[in-house]
Amino acid sequence: MNDVQELVTRADEVAPEFAATSAAERRALLRGIADVMDAGADELVTIAGEETALPEARLRGELARTTWQLRKFGDAVVEGSYLEAVVDHADPSDVPPRPDLRRMLRPLGPVAMFAASNFPFAFSVAGGDTASALAAGCPVIVKAHSGHPRLSRRTAELVSAAVEAAGLPAGVFGLVEGFEQGLALVDAEPIEAVSFTGSVAGGRALLDRCTARPRPIPFFGELGSLNPVVVTAAADAARGDELAAGLAGSFQLGAGQFCTKPGLVLVPQGSRLIQELPAQVAEEEPTMLTERIAEGFATGRAAATAVDGVEVLAGGGGATAPTLLATDASVLLANAEVLLEEVFGPLTLLVRYADAAERESVLAELPGSLTATLHAEDSDDIDGLVDRLGRLAGRVLFAGWPTGVAVSWAQHHGGPWPATNTQHTSVGMTSIRRFLRPVAYQDAPERALPPELRDDNPLGIPRRVDGRLVPGA
């Protein structure tokens, strides 16, 4: 057997044992992973800096987010509401008569994770996908990203050490590298789901492969996103300079290599923001994470600037130079197939609109996004705008800028295609839902029920009992 087959077979063998672990045991595992990563922070940050060229402060902050995330998932498992436990006692008066029914979410089994390039900690080997799947009770096999191979291997060693220290079998976690190995992982029969963060093209190929299997499996992809921003005329007049500074920081943050980078900004004709922003575009050329990303940025920028009616307001001289483009709504609508393509990197497109009707015509053409941002004043009538933006994106912001994603119960990091291909979030506590499936037990004797569904609720988790929500102990 090759390495992929060995890892998948081992994961499949230990899946029932890992699924049967208690919430306390899984919390101990997640905390153990966080502890060893915190203890190895200096080494991990050094390796990450050498492979990605990201600054030390950014990497330390991302590592802290990653270990905090692991611990929060551990707490969520013990709290128990993620199980969506429901108890419906038998009721002969119901129509039709109801048997005793009890339902909760159970782990899927072995899952495959494809690490991302732009967050070498938070969306990589021990990132949110791995944390949420382990929290659910699913063995995880990670396909490392080629952009940071040494960091991936070292992180995997630490995770494996934490698995061993927790007294769990080695098959709970594994790592593979290479393009062909990634495809073999998707094809392996025991794999129950695939999670991916990356390009639309790459995600679409994996989605098709997941559905083409003899036994299709779920694919959870976080893909491309324009993250549109709407600035009303009142907001532009009141604080155009402030908005320009905020946008400059957001679209250039991390060399524009954030999945929530604002890539398209609707502004009124004669905008103050447009006047103020060019001076705040940096002249330095940042180092991109990989050569492939740098090439994609250059190609996308060239395609956008080749459109008649698109102006380069700042930057664009060097291969990776931050670039500010501007055009009119009519030009965008006539060239949507080019200008509505995400350019991953430090580029944003300002689109001037003449009135609310023209603004709406642009919004109607936009593809799905992870985020949509509205900057308005109290005097603005925004009801229709809020509804429109909510149909475009999974997170609607009313202040600030979309770069930066909190890890919380209320977070949603997903959106209509091509942002994601699923209604689930890939960030926050409810991302665990991707790796669980419901199982109902009918007229089961008490001894056959999981503890979470027994009448005495020994674990004290929140449940819905006979239609009413009952808080946990």
Report the catalytic residues. 222, 259
Residue 167 region, left (φ>0) first, then alpha (ψ -120 to 50), else beta?
left
Alpha-carbon Rg for the chain in angstroms: 24
Q: CA-to-CA distance for 89 and 464, rounded, in angstroms?
A: 11
The CA-atom distances, in angstroms, between 232 and each of 238, 261, 396 are 10, 20, 15
Q: CA-to-CA distance for 165 and 447, rounded, in angstroms?
A: 31
The two beta strands, 463-465 and 101-107, are: unpaired
Q: Is residue 269 within 8 Å of 354, Cβ to Cβ?
A: yes
Sign of CA dihedral 104, 445, 12, 175: positive
Q: CA-to-CA distance for 218 and 423, rounded, in angstroms?
A: 12
Q: Which residues contact 265 (CB under 8 A, 6 or more apart)?
A: 228, 229, 231, 247, 273, 348, 349, 350, 351
First-last CA distance in the chain: 48
Q: CA-to-CA distance for 126 and 390, rounded, in angstroms?
A: 31
Determine the length of the chain: 473
The CA-atom distances, in angstroms, between 323 and each of 256, 305, 373 are 10, 10, 20
Q: Is residue 349 within 8 Å of 264, Cβ to Cβ?
A: yes
Give the residue carrying structure tokens 């109801």: 98
3-class SS at 193? Answer: strand
Tokens read off for 2? 């090759």
Q: CA-to-CA distance for 20 and 105, rounded, in angstroms?
A: 13
3-class SS at 176? Answer: strand
Q: CA-to-CA distance for 205 and 203, rounded, in angstroms?
A: 5
Q: Which residues contact 181 (CB under 8 A, 6 or more apart)?
A: 3, 4, 143
3-class SS at 436? Answer: strand
DSSP class of 309 = T
